[in-house]
Amino acid sequence: MQVLLLLLAAAGLCWGQYDPNTLPKRNAIVHLFEWRWQDIALECERYLAPNGFGGVQVSPPSENIVVTNPNRPWWERYQPVSYKLCTRSGNEEEFRDMVTRCNNVGVHIYVDAVVNHMCGAAGGSGTHSTCGSYFNAGNRDFPAVPYSGWDFNDGKCHSGSGEIENYGDIYQVRDCRLVSLLDLALEKDYVRSKVAEYLNHLIDIGVAGFRLDAAKHMWPGDIRAFLDKLNNLNIQWFPEGTKPFIYQEVIDLGGEPIKGSDYFGNGRVTEFKYGAKLGTVIRKWNGEKMAYLKNWGEGWGFVPSDRALVFVDNHDNQRGHGAGGSSILTFWDARLYKMASGFMLAHPYGFTRVMSSFRWPRYFENGRDINDWVGPPSNEDGSIKPVTINEDTTCGNDWVCEHRWRQIKNMVIFRNVVDGEPFSNWWDNGSNQVAFGRGNKGFIIFNNDDWNMNVYVQTGLPAGTYCDVISGQKEDGKCTGKQVFVSGDGMANFQINTDAEDPFIAIHVEAKL
Ligand code: AAO
């Protein structure tokens, strides 16, 4: 028994890195999808640090194939050809400058690490790569790493086509090609060492952790083997002995043999059920209602809270890639999206990631967006357009900047204010009017019914006048939006009409007059 416990401890505890490595009271990161490094550096300094964001997930920084048919899709960045830090987002110097400047204001950088594969099998040969490195997909030659034929899983895959044909077969999922992407032989120590070298380069520059792309397509033990080779974080910004935060992209919506829990030994996993279910509830599909959210979290069959990375949408499922389906809420459904984001950021379950997108010419044909490939706002020569900032603090050049929407930004702050406080004072009307608090620090209430709401509920908060941080916020000692009066017994009256611009109200102790 003792031996078993020791083994379990070794497998489950020693290697795992579950702590997001954000500064205390910074409890959300934002995915600045396809942003340039120089824009991220500025955003850390001018917006993210002052508003309590803990970090940024950046798009893959490793050199990728240049795809011209279609013309420079966003997904070309998921096809590495080398581990040089050289992409449309910027070069190594700009990457270093970003990491340094963001760390210096307490905003940490999380790298999207594409290490399951290189480019697609039909990627051709030549120097059509973001840094001009030569490669030959046909004979598996990537001299800039270097990788060659025996570093790939071609011989190990047992599906007829060499592709993943059946997600019910765990060997295919791990040993065959995902959408034709050349699958690295991570069982080889050489390949593990090259991956670790790449990640250590990033760690030494100062990054705080990694999203492991396509983790489901790697064996958990192979992941552990390269994680085992990683350095501790740079002591210029992190306490000695800090391990990188690891969150693995494992799509587990149920119904397949590979489970998120298979990966707990390595770090956290992306909980895809979260956004899919929350979208279904807020859209009121399949008879779902917000009252059912009372036991949101593990009660809904999600992974344990301290193993979960959660999000309303991600760069894939906001455009029909990956998994989650049509229930996923995105900026295109702004009103419902803000409610879902508000719910997520108020609720204690999981570590939260906010999405920040670019607009694209969405166009549905037969239920599918035929422009799902369109890359970031760019110039004629393919370079990515800068993120410009309008006078009203929103973004220009087709950058959506959901993280700058007042409702979402203020809920990121709410999450920091209520950090560590228990889920409390749940109330619902049996339908789609619900409310809950976080100890005596914050309270949120929603009306997603088709009729007006006028209720007295227990907030758990100290008496006083609070500014609603959804319709406005506290500025110069005044509320720019609605006010809420909490009486001595913690009760407060809330009125939310069904046609309100945003049918929810949130208050917390730092927005009290
Ligand atoms: C592009 C072209 C391809 C071409 C390839 C190579 O589109 O036609 O063959 O280049 O030339 C992204 C894009 C891809 C793109 C790729 C490389 O999305 O379109 O391919 O870059 O440029 C699976 C993986 C998951 C992956 C997701 C997209 O498990 O890891 O597919 N996400 C990551 C990234 C993503 C990136 C890659 C990985 C590759 O976030 O941006 O791809 O680096 C099931 C499985 C899931 C599976 C989905 C989709 O989901 O469970 O594991 O995700 O299928 O194939 C229900 C089920 C649900 C199921 C879903 C869809 O909801 O409950 O389980 O249906 O069937």
Give whole-number Cα distances, 323 to 90, 227, 270, 276, in Å. 29, 26, 12, 9
Residues 6+ apart with CB under 8 A from 160: none
Q: Which residue has the tokens 């039909």?
A: 122
Residue nearest ligand 1's atom 17 by CA: 78
Render pLDDT for 58-103 as a digit per residue (tens, 0 to 9).
Answer: 999 999 999 999 999 999 999 999 999 999 999 999 999 999 999 9
Is the model's pLDDT at 265 over the cut of 90? yes
Is residue 249 among the annotated active site residues? yes
Is the model's pLDDT at 5 over the cut of 80? no
Locate all alpha helices (DSSP H) within 363-444, ordered by sequence: 406-417
Render pLDDT for 404-417 as a digit per residue (tens, 0 to 9).
Answer: 999 999 999 999 99
Is the model's pLDDT at 14 over the cut of 80? no
**Residue 68 dihedral angles phi and psi, to the nearest 5°:** -110, -10
> What pLDDT is attached to residue 12?
44
Residue nearest ligand 1's atom 38 by CA: 214
Render pLDDT for 423-436 as a digit per residue (tens, 0 to 9).
Answer: 999 999 999 999 99
Is the model's pLDDT at 9 over the cut of 80? no
How remote is the CA of residue 456 from the centroid of ligand 1, in Å? 47
Which structure tokens are listed for 79?
């096809």
Q: Is the CB of 325 under 6 A from ligand 1?
A: yes
Read off the pTM: 0.97
> What pLDDT is attached to residue 506?
99
Instruction: Choose, from 39, 213, 313, 502, the residue flagged as catalytic.
Output: 213
Written in H, E and C, the secondary structure of 193-228 is HHHHHHHHHHHHHCCCEEEECCHHHCCHHHHHHHHC
Is the model's pLDDT at 142 over the cut of 60? yes
Q: What is the mean pLDDT of residues 364-386?
A: 97
Res. 176 pLDDT band, cuts 50 70 90: very high
Amino acid at 513: L
How remote is the CA of residue 322 from the centroid of ligand 1, in Å? 5
Instruction: Choose, from 249, 252, 316, 428, the residue flagged as catalytic.
Output: 249
Q: Give the sign of the dihedral formed by CA 162, CA 165, CA 170, CA 174.
A: positive
d(Cα 104, Cα 299) in Å, to the nearest integer?
39
Render pLDDT for 443-482 as a digit per residue (tens, 0 to 9).
Answer: 999 999 999 999 999 999 999 999 999 999 999 999 999 9
Q: What is the mean pLDDT of residues 383-393?
A: 98
Residue nearest ligand 1's atom 52 by CA: 251
Is residue 213 among the annotated active site residues? yes
Q: What is the mean pLDDT of residues 494-510?
A: 98
Peptide bond into 146 cis (omega under 30): yes
Res. 16 pLDDT band, cuts 50 70 90: low
Mean pLDDT of all residues belonging to the chain: 96
**Residue 346 dihedral angles phi and psi, to the nearest 5°:** -85, -25
Which structure tokens are listed for 436?
């809950």
> What pLDDT is attached to residue 324?
85
Q: What is the mean pLDDT of residues 318-337?
A: 95
Is the model's pLDDT at 1 over the cut of 80? no
Q: Are 117 and 177 in contact (CB under 8 A)?
A: yes
End-to-end CA distance of the chain: 58
Is the model's pLDDT at 3 over the cut of 70? no
How remote is the CA of residue 164 from the centroid of ligand 1, in Å? 11
> What pLDDT is attached to residue 343?
99
Is the model's pLDDT at 225 over the cut of 50? yes
Give whole-number Cα distances, 253 to 153, 158, 300, 327, 502, in Å. 26, 25, 12, 13, 30
> What pLDDT is attached to residue 15?
54
For the chain, percent of residues with pLDDT exceeding 70: 97
